[in-house]
């Protein structure tokens, strides 16, 4: 696999993405800004077809369809130091997944997460949204990192999650159907100087 930071993206395709804060809304009345819609991209360096690359500084996820072409999706990423970079693979895929906060999440915010310590069933209000890709390490262990949907699509383009990468439910549903089990996933490190 060939992964580099920004050299694989055609110049300027992701430059228009910025973090936005939206007033309290519901998914039903919120309209996705045009710049956050999926778009085709050309890579300046060959990529492994089927690979998923996340650039947290541009809130962008790239799916390599061929060595030279792919699709860019807008995402939300982990806030502060909760975002974890690295090389992973898709170890599991689930539709309308259940969710259980990690012990660390409960410790950070017990008022919000403790009530779900035994889990929350899948559904429209579940934080993992409509679909989830489970990221595993090279040894086959679940890292508890996910690429998933969200019932709060207005958080796309911002760093607000507990470490996972989130897409609008309609976009994770599209991505889910295109990503194979075992697909390589690269979560690029934050540069934070863009």
Digit-coded pLDDT (tens) for 40-69 = 999 999 999 999 999 999 999 999 999 999
pLDDT in tens, 105-125: 999 999 999 999 999 999 999
What would the pLDDT profile of 60-101 be if each residue is shown by its tens digit?
999 999 999 999 999 999 998 999 999 999 999 999 999 998
Q: Give the β-pairing of 131-136 and 184-187.
A: unpaired
CA distance 164 to 127: 11
Distance CA 10, CA 41 (A): 7
Q: How confident is the model at residue 29 (pLDDT cuts 50, 70, 90)?
A: confident
User: Which domains, from first to last, does the chain contain?
Assistant: 38-187 (2.40.440.10)
The confidence score (pLDDT) of residue 30 equals 78
Question: What is the Cα–Cα distance from 90 to 92, expressed in whole angstroms?
Answer: 6
Percent of the chain with pLDDT over 90: 75
Q: What is the pLDDT of residues 154-185, one digit of tens each?
A: 999 999 998 999 999 999 999 999 999 999 99
Tokens 């390589």 belong to which residue? 184
* Candidate list 24, 112, 148, 171, residue with the active-site label: 148
| H helices present in the chain, as ranges | 103-108, 110-113, 169-178
Catalytic annotation present for 148: yes
Identify the pLDDT of residue 51.
Answer: 98
Q: Residue 41 is encoded by which pair of tokens?
A: 């991209």
Catalytic, out of 24, 112, 164, 171: 164
Inform me whether the pLDDT recorded for 6 exceeds 80. Answer: no
Which residue from 100, 99, 47 is spatially nearest to 70, judged by alpha carbons? 47
Residue 171 is a catalytic residue: no
């Amino acid at each position: 696999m060939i992964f580099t930071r920004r050299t694989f993206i055609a110049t300027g395709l992701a430059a228009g993405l910025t973090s936005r804060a939206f007033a309290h809304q519901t998914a039903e009345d919120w309209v996705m800004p045009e710049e956050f819609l999926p778009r085709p991209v050309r890579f300046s360096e060959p990529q492994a077809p089927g690979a998923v690359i996340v650039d947290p500084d541009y809130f962008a996820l790239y799916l390599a369809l061929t060595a030279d072409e792919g699709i860019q999706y807008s995402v939300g990423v982990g806030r502060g130091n909760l975002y974890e970079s690295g090389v992973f693979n898709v170890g599991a895929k689930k539709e309308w997944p259940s969710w259980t906060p990690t012990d660390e999440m409960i410790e950070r915010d017990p008022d919000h997460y403790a009530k779900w310590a035994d889990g929350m069933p899948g559904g429209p209000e579940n934080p993992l949204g409509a679909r989830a890709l489970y990221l595993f390490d090279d040894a086959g262990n679940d890292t508890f990192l996910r690429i998933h949907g969200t019932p709060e699509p207005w958080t796309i383009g911002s760093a607000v999650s507990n470490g996972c990468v989130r897409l609008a439910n309609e976009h994770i549903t599209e991505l889910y159907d295109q990503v194979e089990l075992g697909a390589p996933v690269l979560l690029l490190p934050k540069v934070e100087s863009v």
